[in-house]
Structure 1
Amino acid sequence: MHLFDIVVIAIGLAMDASAVSMAAAACGYAKDRRAVFRLAFHFGLFQFMMPVVGWILGTGFVSYVRAVDHWIAFGLLVFVGGRMVREGVADTGDCLHRDPSKGLTMVMLSFATSIDALAIGLGLAVMDVNIWYPSVLIGMITCAMSVAAIGIGKRVGAVLGNRMEIVGGIILIGLGLKILIPALFTVPDLTI
């Protein structure tokens, strides 16, 4: 597999994490360096680990993961996004209710945005590609794109005010739909 191919895959995989990072920053959740580090580190770490896990599981597990991966990602993103929208609507002028760079929310977001990386790892196992180089590159690119997205999100949040929590929640729900809808309308391969 060529470097260009790996970089394109990495950028594609990092888009969801970048969108979540931007939304979190726009809501004021990434105010200090520690929060920025937590977001970028966790997204990068999960994007690194999931292809490795997929590669280790190998081809015998592909059908099970493909059957439910979109539902898991959709459920987690809608849960977190719905909570953000609900809190934004009930907001009394303060956007910051819960920090998505901490605790279970951070783990859920990291997992939900990296499920597709698990499938990439399974695909690389089928192609007999050594997983370590692509996984490290995917993790590093995701981390860098998350940091850049946080910088953009901070500017957007300052311009649009503290109701960005609603926008952030809608973005997460949209990401969930983006994962779910194509999976629902994909014709399964019935060849044996």
Structure 2
Amino acid sequence: MNLWELLILAVGLSMDAFAVSVCKGLSVKKLKAKHMLTVGAYFGGFQALMPLLGYILGIQFQSMIQQFDHWIAFVLLVLIGLSMIKESREEAENLNDSFSFKTMLPLAVATSIDALAVGVTFAFLQVKIVPAISFIGATTFILSAIGIRIGNIFGAKYKSKAELVGGIVLILMGAKILLEHLGVPDMIFG
């Protein structure tokens, strides 16, 4: 996986966190830098942790399922992408303005579950995990901090669009992985 593909994947994965950050921004009357750092740290940290856990799980089972790993990667990414597209059509939840551990932990876990599945695909694709999770975590940190600011300024206008784009990106990444493993680019381009 090259840097460009990793960037696209990182942005796609971070769209849930971005969307929730926009909603959190709606709930804050006076946005402070510590709010942006808190949201970025929770969401970015969990977006880095979950693929690592998925990678560890994937490595354990890699030898058993290596012959159809590309199908697993495709199905997981498509399901995650479809879920994000579905969420983009739902009404925004009322989020409170708390940034406590009790409030932020469930949000961070919920927005990073899809990254767990991506970590499994990283194991199958033999991606260098430390640079990948660092990049994903940093990307999510930045986009989450931006998201809370956008939410505070502009409102919920961008939440559903962010989730829709993230879902489409993940589906396209899944299709690319499957087509490459099936040799379609080689058949077309020679």
What range is the shorter-chain TM-score in? 0.5 to 0.7
Distance 1:58 1:14 in 2: 21
Distance 2:97 2:31 in 1: 13
Distance 1:119 1:9 in 2: 13
Corresponding residue number in structure 2 for 1:103:
101
Seen in structure 2, the aligned counterparts of structure 1 residues 144 and 98 have a Cα distance that, compared at 3 Å, is: closer
Distance 1:42 1:117 in 2: 14
The superposition leaves residues 87-118 of structure 1 with CA deviations (integer Å, 9 ceiling, x where unpaired) of xxxxxxxxxx541x222220111011101100
Shift of 1:40: 0.8
The question of whether the paired residues in 2 share the 8 Å contact of 1:24 and 1:30 is answered with: no
Shift of 1:135: 0.5
The alignment covers a number of residue pairs equal to 149
Distance 1:30 1:50 in 2: 31
Seen in structure 2, the aligned counterparts of structure 1 residues 29 and 120 have a Cα distance that, compared at 3 Å, is: farther
Gaps spanning 5+ residues in structure 1: where?
Answer: 86-96, 158-163, 180-192
Runs of 4+ in 1 over 2 A off after TM superposition: 59-63
Structure 2 residue identity aligned to 1:52: L
Distance 2:141 2:29 in 1: 17
Structure 2 residue identity aligned to 1:154: N
Identity %: 31
Q: 1:21 and 2:14 equivalent?
A: no
TM-score (norm 2): 0.64
Distance 1:32 1:135 in 2: 27
The superposition leaves residues 32-88 of structure 1 with CA deviations (integer Å, 9 ceiling, x where unpaired) of 22221110111000001100010011263999xx7xx97xx99xx9xxx65x27xxx
Out of 103, 117, 120, the residue aligned to residue 115 of structure 2 is: 117
Seen in structure 2, the aligned counterparts of structure 1 residues 152 and 98 have a Cα distance that, compared at 3 Å, is: closer
The superposition leaves residues 104-151 of structure 1 with CA deviations (integer Å, 9 ceiling, x where unpaired) of 220111011101100110001011222111100000000111111122
TM-score (norm 1): 0.63
| Alignment of structure 1 residues 149-188 onto 2, 5 Å | 149-157=147-155
Structure 2 residue identity aligned to 1:10: A
Corresponding residue number in structure 2 for 1:41:
41
The question of whether the paired residues in 1 share the 8 Å contact of 2:22 and 2:147 is answered with: yes
Seen in structure 2, the aligned counterparts of structure 1 residues 39 and 106 have a Cα distance that, compared at 3 Å, is: same
Gaps spanning 5+ residues in structure 2: where?
Answer: 66-71, 168-190
Distance 2:29 2:126 in 1: 41
